[in-house]
Amino acid sequence: MERVVTVVPEDGLHARPAAKFVETANGYDADVQVGPADGDLVDAASMLAVTSLGVASGDDVRIVAEGDDAEAALDALEGVLSTPEAESET
């Protein structure tokens, strides 16, 4: 199953938001891939791959998940991508 989400964190998928995204993807029993809405997908469990996508705020990304937790993983990842991220920590 898959979903297209607009990226809200203003840093896009860089350092901190990317780390959170990858951490979340790794937390589910599902194979997750991510990429631009109309482009090639990469492994969502790889910080390197996710960061190198260069996804900016406002970009649409496609998330594809396969496996037992696919739906829950998509929900959680959508949550990460659509939450302005900074206030959660400080």
Partner 1 sequence: MSTDEQPSRTIDGTGVTPLAGVGTAVWYDLSVDVDLDEPPESDAVDPEAERDRFDDARERARDELDREREQTAERVGEEEAAVFDAHRQFLDDPQITDGVADALDDGLPAEHAVHRAFEGPIEQFAAMDGMMAERADDLRDVRDRLLRLLTDVDRVDLGALPEGSVVLAERLTPSDTAQLDPDRVAGFATAEGGRTSHAAIFARSLGIPAVVGVGEDLLTIDADADVLVDGIEGSVIVDPTSEQRERASAGRDVEIRTEPVATADGRSIEVAANVGTLAELEGAVRQGADGIGLFRTEFLFLDREAPPDEDEQVETYVEALDAFPDGRVVVRTLDVGGDKPVPYLDLPEEENPFLGERGIRRSLGPDSGLFETQLRALLRAAAAGDGTLSVMFPMVATVTELEAALETVDSVADALDDAGIDRAMPELGVMIETPSAALLAEALAERVDFLSIGTNDLTQYVMAAARENDRVAHLHDPTEPAVLRAIDRTVSAGHASDAWVGMCGEMAGDPELTELLVGLGLDELSMSAVTIPAVKETVTGIETADAESLADRATDATAKSAVRDHIDNREP
Neighbours of 9 (CB within 10 A): 22
DSSP state of 17: H
Report, in Å, the least distance between residue 87 CB and partner 1: 7
For residue 19, CA distances in Å to 1, 16, 50, 80 come to 23, 5, 9, 11
Report, in Å, the least distance between residue 81 CB and partner 1: 12
Nearest to partner 1 of 6, 52 (CB atom)? 52
Catalytic residues: 14
Q: Using the structure block, give the residue that is written with the tokens 């938001």.
A: 17
Q: List residues binding partner 1 (CB under 8 A).
A: 8-11, 14-16, 18-20, 22-23, 26, 43, 45-49, 51-52, 54, 57, 84-87, 89-90
